[in-house]
Amino acid sequence: MAAPALAQTQPPVITLPEVMVTAQKEPAKAQDLPVSVTAITAGMLERAGVSIVSDAVLTAPNSIFTEFTARKLSNARFRGLGSSPANPAVTTFIDGVPVLNANASSIELIAVDQVEFVRGPQSALFGRNTLGGLVNISSARPNLSRWTGRLTAPLGDNGTREIRGAVSGPLSDTVALGVAIGHGERDGFTTNSITGNAIDGRKGTFGKAQLLWTPTARFETRLIVSGERSRDGDYALSDLAGLRQNPFTVARDFEGSQNRDVRSATVLARYEGSRVSVTSTSGYLRWDTRDETDLDYTPLSLVTRDNAEEASQFSQEVRLASAGGAPVRLSDSATLTWQVGGVMFTQNYAQTAINRFSPFVLSPLLGFPVRQYSPKGTIDDLGFGGFAQATFSFSNRVDLALGARADRETKDAALDTYFDPVIAPPAAVARKVTYSNISPNASLTVHVRPGSIVYATAGRGYKAGGFNPTAPPSAEAYGEELTWTMEAGSKTSFADGRVIANAAVFLVDWTDLQLNRPIPLAPGQFYISNVGGATSRGVELELMARAGRGVDVFGALGLTRARFDAGSTSEGVDVGDNRIPFTPEYTASVGVQFSRQVRDRVSTFGRVDLVRYGTFDYDDANTAGQKAYALANLRAGVDVRGVTIEGWVRNAFDTRYIPTAFAYPFFAPSGFVGESGRPRTIGITLGVGF
């Protein structure tokens, strides 16, 4: 009788939870998909203290964001693939709606359920500008069963103060409401030695409201409305060599500002039939920005820039798919799951940018101030696409997926560049261009055993061509960028579900690579140019383990070798075999997250994150770059009956690094300007929930 009694006292098996993703549009287990995806759940976001997407990416291999102090300038780069804000290689989708311009993609993560970093070409399902992958952000659903809420207040050095609140609950048996709001601000990290002012402070207010309606068990619709308003300081740009000697210090006579407003509305509707599901995603997004900055970044009064941009976009997707759990049976041993859909989008973009030159700057003969409009104009975009994917399953062990997407897009540009007063002939672009593309994809998956697969995929990705708002003569337009990517990998779980290990190898072959280039004689301005071919190859490893009850250990390693092909030229210079800019040789991260119940409704929790980035270059000529560096983030706290207090340190060892820099030959003594990476910050977060 003793043996059964002993067995009953043994603790239950501790396993990692299953993670569902929409990396291929339909909900599926991440471990069953033949695609490299790192999913960061709401719980992980909260325990890591993540409030923006670029902080969430730390645990995703071969993934990095190049961003400035301006919130709008945050560009994802996966496996070496990236580009400018107007034409990203990695597109952000928020609740299924693509953010066509990256200027509006870096927003506060409020009432978010999950962030997915999907690496590899997704053009066969998601279309243009996903040849490097996509960032998939999903809002948390309003709670239909009971009212819940959470209020947090992070406080820290550098004048950091925030407040975030969210509440969600049922209005009736079929209707639920969710509301989340927040406000945050901090002082600047960078001091202007001329005035003694901190120039790169931040201030922002943001919110989201959702309404969920489920009139029947098979149908639901969600209305999601969100907005963000930021009023920030100036860019923290300065001479690269000067920053390395004296970080967080600039010297300039003019202190500017950065303002951005983003508003969006999304309607999601889904019907789950017995055989077919129907999904509709409608999205409207509008954003506008205005930057004023000292364009020479020196104490001299030489040139300033006033840049105003705005855009509005609308997208509509309708998709049909085989109902979950009800595949089409083809034979006793073969089944079919499928999805097919169509999409359209519009985007209207306008920019007015004015460079103000002081007397004698442009020429010793011009003893009066000059304004250069570079540019003033609009770009209108209209696109349509259709896609389909079929997955054949044989004996529940082998899956063969075939998919393709056809897209057609028209861009209409009216762009003017001129001086006031007139000192040179004006330049104008008035053109319309249409692009068409077909992107196929195929994958083979073998289910070795429950919870373990091996797979191989091949797919084509493409990035649309378009117009540069401003560019050197004859470079006003640029062509499409195309890739073929091959990937093989494995996903496995063992130790009774307590350990998950994923591995992948990939090869990316580029043609007509788009590169962001500085414009000669136009400081601080860039244009996109096709520079030839390139190849990226590498390895990715991810490990997650539940070491014990309430203890999770995770790590990732990514190796990338991304180089221009022989014969590739940039600005007439041979860049063959040079490294692709902003592509670390490796990314490595390791972390541990724990929680422990010490008594009834009293628990402690904490998290440690360590990440290291390998050497990378700032430009295609490999003239300057950043050496390998490491960052450490620490958090720990206690929860007493729903009231929490948490202490945190970001960049705990106060590592000095410059993640972003670019060529600036006219005013920077070193030929480059850059911004210092975020210094060590320390604070506490107070919270209460129900």
Consecutive 10-residue averages of pLDDT for the chain (690 residues) = 36 74 94 96 92 92 90 90 84 96 92 96 94 96 96 96 97 98 96 96 96 97 98 94 96 95 98 96 97 93 95 98 89 95 97 95 94 94 97 95 97 94 92 94 95 96 88 84 96 93 97 83 78 94 94 97 91 90 96 93 96 96 96 97 96 96 89 95 96
Q: Rounded to an integer, what distance in angstroms lies between the CA atom of residue 361 and that of residue 381?
A: 37
Residue 4 lies in a domain: no
* Beta carbons within 8 Å of 6's beta carbon, 6+ residues apart: none
* Beta carbons within 8 Å of 474's beta carbon, 6+ residues apart: none
Q: Rounded to an integer, what distance in angstroms lies between the CA atom of residue 517 and that of residue 528?
A: 6
Residue 73's pLDDT is 86
Residue 338 lies in a domain: yes
Residue 647 lies in a domain: yes
CATH assignment of the domain containing 581:
2.40.170.20
How many CA atoms lie less than 13 Å away from 646 in the CB half-sphere?
26
Residue 2 lies in a domain: no
Q: Is 53 helix (H, G, I), strand (E, B) or coil?
A: helix
Beta bridge partners of 210: 178, 224
Answer yes or no: are the C-beta atoms of 294 and 256 closer than 8 Å: yes
Residue 3's Cβ-count burial label (10 Å; 0-12, 13-18, 19+) is exposed
What is the DSSP secondary-structure string of 614-626?
A: --EESSTT--SEE
Q: Rounded to an integer, what distance in angstroms lies between the CA atom of residue 219 and that of residue 538?
A: 43
Q: Is 610 helix (H, G, I), strand (E, B) or coil?
A: strand
Number of C-beta neighbours around residue 191 at 10 A: 18
Residue 130's pLDDT is 94
Q: Shortest CA distance to 575 belongs to which of 617, 537, 539?
A: 617
What is the DSSP secondary-structure string of 107-163?
A: ----SEEEEEEEES--HHHH-TT-SSEEEEEEEPPPPSSS-EEEEEEEEETTTEEEE
The C-alpha angle 426, 431, 436, rounded to 5 degrees, equals 150
Give me the number of domains the chain comprises.
Answer: 1
Residue 6's pLDDT is 32
Residue 621 lies in a domain: yes
Answer yes or no: are the C-beta atoms of 577 and 598 closer than 8 Å: no
Give the chain's length: 690
> Position of tokens 């106060």?
654
The dihedral through the CA atoms of 43, 48, 52, 57 has a sign that is negative
Q: Rounded to an integer, what distance in angstroms lies between the CA atom of residue 239 and that of residue 670?
A: 6
Chain centroid, CA 624 distance in Å: 25
Answer yes or no: are the C-beta atoms of 21 and 37 closer than 8 Å: yes
Residue 17 lies in a domain: no
Residue 8 lies in a domain: no
Greatest C-alpha distance within the chain: 104
Q: Rounded to an integer, what distance in angstroms lies between the CA atom of residue 326 and that of residue 339?
A: 13
Residue 515's pLDDT is 85
Q: Shortest CA distance to 135 belongs to which of 185, 183, 222, 64?
A: 64
Residue 521's pLDDT is 64
Category of 544 on φ-ψ map: left (φ > 0), alpha (ψ -120 to 50) or beta: beta
* Beta carbons within 8 Å of 291's beta carbon, 6+ residues apart: 70, 235, 256, 257, 258, 259, 305, 306, 307
Q: Which helix (H) or strand (E) holds 205?
A: strand 202-213
Residue 253's Cβ-count burial label (10 Å; 0-12, 13-18, 19+) is middle
Answer yes or no: are the C-beta atoms of 379 and 466 closer than 8 Å: yes
How many CA atoms lie less than 13 Å away from 521 in the CB half-sphere?
6
Query: Global pTM?
Result: 0.95
Number of C-beta neighbours around residue 364 at 10 A: 8
User: How far, CA to CA in Å, does 189 sit from each of 54, 69, 85, 289?
Assistant: 18, 10, 25, 22
> What are the tokens at 666?
């006219």
Residue 584's pLDDT is 97
What is the DSSP secondary-structure string of 451-512?
A: TEEEEEEEEEEEE--EE-SS-STT-SEE--EEEEEEEEEEEEEETTTTEEEEEEEEEEEEES
User: How far, CA to CA in Å, does 426 sit from each of 167, 358, 416, 473, 648?
Assistant: 55, 20, 7, 11, 54
Q: Which domain holds residue 76?
A: 26-689
Residue 445's pLDDT is 98
User: How far, CA to CA in Å, does 623 sit from each of 49, 77, 266, 403, 437?
Assistant: 36, 20, 44, 42, 35
Residue 180 lies in a domain: yes
